[in-house]
Amino acid sequence: MEIKLFSEINHASLKELTAQVKLAGNRQLLLKINSPGGSVADGLAMANLIASHRPGSSCEIVGLCASMATVIALSTGRVRMCANAIFMIHNPWTETTGDAREHRKTADALDKFAAPILAAYTKKTGRPEAEIQKLMDDETWMNATEAKKLGFIDEIGASSPVASAVAIPEAPALVLSSVEYGRLTPEKRREFLRLGGQFSLTKC
């Protein structure tokens, strides 16, 4: 059964994905992803939900698969990526206020959240932790060929030309292609999503 993650990862999208998996029953899942990532906690819950489903589930990355969305993709048995899709990994991050003690506590918490992400990447790729950690430290953006070479995905699908963004009459300027979205800074991504922005899908 085909299920989709076409949004930011948060509690609402976790509930939506949970409902889709429940509806699938005992059928194998084909998870299609076009997501910029989001909450680490909700993303881990999604990954665990997919991994605990019956064996044989697979993933198809049809646009942007960034941050926590990559961990969810790797929770399936096999990952296919459109030739013109984008894959990005980095360290978890957040914002905090307070004195030095508060910032240190936040840094320690971020390290704990990073550990299962690093473990998922090393397990999938078979590469040394130090090599994967360097890719995360650098915030690494990959095309399908690069992602396959590093072992993050299993196969590359055929691609059609990237579809032009479909303008929304009320806010045409808030529709970006997946590539354009990927070029935004983290601050601009948050503002873009807060304003209801959308990114167009790249289809196989």
Catalogue all structural domains in the chain, each as residue range(s) with its CATH number. 2-199 (3.90.226.10)
SS3 167: coil
> For position 165, what pLDDT does the model report?
38
Arithmetic mean of pLDDT over the chain: 85
Which residue in the list 75, 90, 177, 178 is annotated as catalytic? 90
Over range 121-130, report the average pLDDT. 98
**67 among known catalytic residues:** yes
Over range 127-152, report the average pLDDT. 97
Which residue in the list 13, 67, 75, 178 is annotated as catalytic? 67
- Retrieve residue 51's tokens: 């991994």
Cα–Cα distance between 173 and 56 in angstroms, integer? 40
Q: Has residue 126 got a pLDDT over 70?
A: yes
pTM of the model: 0.78
Residue 144: which of 76, 51, 60, 77 has the closest Cα?
60
Check the CA dihedral 56-57-62-65 and report its sign: negative
Q: What crossing angle do the helices spanning 11-24 and 40-51 adopt, rounded to 10°? A: 10
Dihedral, 148, 204, 14, 176 alpha carbons, nearest 10: 100
**90 among known catalytic residues:** yes
> For position 197, what pLDDT does the model report?
58
